């Protein structure tokens, strides 16, 4: 009787799987350029034709892209497929901002909890570095820098959760909300003590993860989003009242149309 043959995986399939895993775990991020072919071939211990075949497999999936002028880069396909359709809808439906914050509360609370449980020493170093960068931005009047540092801090926590979906969903959501986060920070700048409260909230998240306290980390992340939601809601209500009052004032000084 014929024996069932053991299926030996092709070398290019094994290399493609390894590169794909790096993209999924965030070791290779959107926009990153792959090392030169010769270096990668040596790292994997394979021939350059096998490496090229592996890269082509991932390019056909839309995960890698060769650019004119040389170089192969990681695409943002895993994140853009989530964020692109929502970006247009958020612009047309402002009420979705509240839904985004609600979803962010759930996602970042879980990410912080798992980061406190699962973060490696390398993860903690990245969180420390991003937190120090974020702290520095509180002393500067640069909203773009502050929002980028805020995103980097929360993304480092998302990746430290060691859940591929949370890592990529967090990245997509934060990129989607980049402009919104910058506008939020601009609104919060005009509120007394908001800056010091935001700083202490981020410190509470950082410290709970560092101290390996999962529930405290979740609570700190949720408290932070709750503060942002409520403070922004109050700010918007105040702005609406000011606009209404201004319209009434202008109406009072319009010439009367009655005799």
The topology (CATH level 3) of 78-240 is: 1.20.120
Nearest one of 186, 109, 111 to 146, comparing CA atoms? 186
Q: What is the pLDDT of residue 259?
A: 46
Residue pair 127/235 in contact by the 8 Å Cβ criterion: no
Q: Does domain 11-74 correspond to CATH entry 3.40.50.620?
A: no
Among residues 109, 94, 115, 208, the alpha carbon closest in space to that of 161 is found at 115
Instruction: Indicate yes or no: pTM above 0.85.
Output: no
Direct distance between the N- and C-terminal alpha carbons of the chain, in angstroms, rounded to an integer = 110
Read off the tokens for 138: 């509180």
Equal fold, 11-74 vs 78-240? no
Distance of CA 241 to the CA centre of its chain: 33
What is the block-wise mean pLDDT of the chain (259 residues), using blocks of 10 residues?
A: 61 88 83 90 92 90 82 80 66 74 91 97 97 89 82 94 89 72 63 80 97 98 90 63 68 57
- Domain coordinates in residue numbering, the chain: 11-74, 78-240
pLDDT of residue 135: 92
- pLDDT of the residue at 188: 66
Cα distance between residue 36 and residue 207, in whole Å: 39
Beta-carbon contacts of 172 under 8 Å, excluding residues fewer than 6 positions away, are 78, 79, 80, 82, 83
């Amino acid at each position: 009787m014929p024996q069932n043959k053991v299926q030996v995986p092709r070398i290019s399939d094994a290399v493609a799987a390894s590169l794909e895993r790096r993209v999924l775990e965030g070791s290779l991020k959107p926009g990153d350029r792959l090392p030169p072919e010769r270096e990668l071939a040596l790292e994997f211990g394979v021939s350059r034709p096998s490496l090229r075949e592996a890269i082509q497999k991932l390019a056909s999936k839309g995960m890698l892209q060769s650019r004119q002028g040389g170089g192969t880069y990681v695409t943002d396909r895993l994140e853009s497929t989530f964020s692109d359709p929502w970006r247009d809808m958020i612009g047309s439906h402002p009420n979705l901002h509240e839904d985004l914050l609600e979803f962010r509360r759930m996602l970042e609370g879980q990410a912080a909890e798992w980061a406190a449980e699962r973060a490696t020493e390398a993860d903690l170093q990245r969180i420390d570095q991003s937190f120090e960068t974020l702290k520095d931005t509180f002393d500067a009047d640069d909203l773009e820098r502050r929002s980028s540092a805020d995103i980097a801090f929360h993304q480092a926590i998302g990746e430290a959760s060691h859940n591929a979906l949370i890592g990529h969903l967090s990245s997509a959501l934060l990129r989607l909300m980049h402009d919104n986060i910058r506008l939020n920070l601009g609104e919060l700048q005009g509120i007394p003590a908001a800056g010091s409260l935001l700083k202490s909230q981020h410190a509470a998240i950082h410290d709970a993860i560092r101290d390996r306290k999962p529930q405290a980390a979740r609570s700190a992340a949720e408290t932070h989003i709750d503060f942002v939601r409520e403070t922004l809601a109050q700010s918007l209500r105040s702005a609406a009242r000011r606009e209404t009052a201004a319209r009434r004032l202008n109406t009072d000084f319009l010439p009367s149309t009655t005799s």
